[in-house]
Amino acid sequence: MDIHLYLMCYRTEALVASQLKAEEFGAYMAVGTQKKTFGNVVFFEIDPTFRSKELHLDQVEAKCKAHPDGTPRRSKYMSLYRVMERVPLSAYGKLHLTTRDGRVLSLNGRDFDEENSSEGPFMYAELCPLTSRVVSHLGPKAFAQRITDPKTTVCVPRIFFAETQVELDDGGHLASYLPYANPSHIEDCIREVEERPNKLGKTVDRNPPLAAFYRTIATGFYLGDSTGIKFYAYPDVATLDAEHHTWWRSASMG
């Protein structure tokens, strides 16, 4: 059986080898194990030919073997600590979004072109290795480059985050359909960033609850560092409802 490599990246990180295909693996991690911490499961597919002694992938063939009765090895954890930064960007494949009942939506990545991006302020949900919700003037590429710049006082080697929706009415209030906790606090943070052009970012919540998370995604997901950024575009609601109806119905429930 083929061995697949998956990088878990939803507020935690782990490199896992599995003989399950992505859809089967996502369903297993969401509903087939009691080890999960959160209902949703988000993971990258990693180039199966990628090898690293540092991440113990020189041992993957020996460790990820079928069970004696012939059933596939569903998960074999290969590395748990600071994994994301040690896998080259070129090895990252599809991003798989799994709902709490095991439905999987797969997104293709591409190099990010920021020329056509909208104006800020933006709101980002940092997913790995940080877990904050942040409002910023910076577009996704500049945001990733700043937070991974080793010359700054506080930085990380690489960041995975999502741009989440910010839609305000004429009174400066968030749209009522957005399922954010404490919307008035988010509105205050947005106003502070708007009123202080020199303030590049404002932390909204250090570890926010991500209720109905998939319903809040705006443009998509970003994986980047000071050398480059990959973008995983998120379909609009009409496309999700028409082409991924079962997944979207599940995602809309929480």
Note whether 186 and 179 are within 8 A (CB).
Answer: no
Strands of 76-79's sheet in order across: 76-79, 14-18, 4-8, 41-46, 92-98, 104-107
User: Distance from first CA to last CA of the chain, Å, rounded?
Assistant: 34
Domain boundaries, the chain: 4-107, 122-235
- Cα–Cα distance measured from residue 168 to residue 118, given in angstroms and rounded to the nearest whole number: 15
The average pLDDT across 27-45 equals 79
- Cα–Cα distance measured from residue 28 to residue 222, given in angstroms and rounded to the nearest whole number: 25
Q: In the predicted model, is pLDDT for residue 247 greater than 80?
A: yes
The pLDDT > 70 percentage for the chain reads 95
Q: What is the DSSP string of 193-206?
A: HHH-TT--EEEEES
Helix (H, G, I), strand (E, B) or coil at 90: helix
What is the Cα 155 distance to its own chain's centre? Answer: 18
pLDDT for 117? 63
The average pLDDT across 165-184 equals 86
- Cα–Cα distance measured from residue 74 to residue 32, given in angstroms and rounded to the nearest whole number: 10
Q: Position 42: which residue type?
A: V
Q: In the predicted model, is pLDDT for residue 36 greater than 60?
A: no
Q: In the predicted model, is pLDDT for residue 244 greater than 90?
A: yes
Q: What is the pLDDT of residues 96-147, one digit of tens each?
A: 999 988 999 999 999 887 655 677 789 999 999 999 999 999 999 999 999 9
Owner of token pair 């113990």: 56
pLDDT for 80? 93
pLDDT, averaged across the chain: 91
Q: Position 109: which residue type?
A: G
Q: 151-175 in b/e burial notation, b at 16+ Cβ within 10 A?
A: eeeeebebbbbbbbbbeeeeeeebe
Query: What is the value of pTM for the model shown?
Result: 0.93
CB atoms within 10 A of CB 35: 8
Helix (H) or strand (E) holding 183: helix 183-195
What tokens were used for 98?
Answer: 């799994």
pLDDT for 254? 65
Q: What is the pLDDT of residues 39-90, one digit of tens each?
A: 789 999 999 999 999 999 999 999 999 999 999 999 999 999 999 999 999 9
Q: What is the pLDDT of residues 186-243, one digit of tens each?
A: 999 999 998 887 888 899 999 887 778 999 999 999 999 988 899 999 999 999 999 9
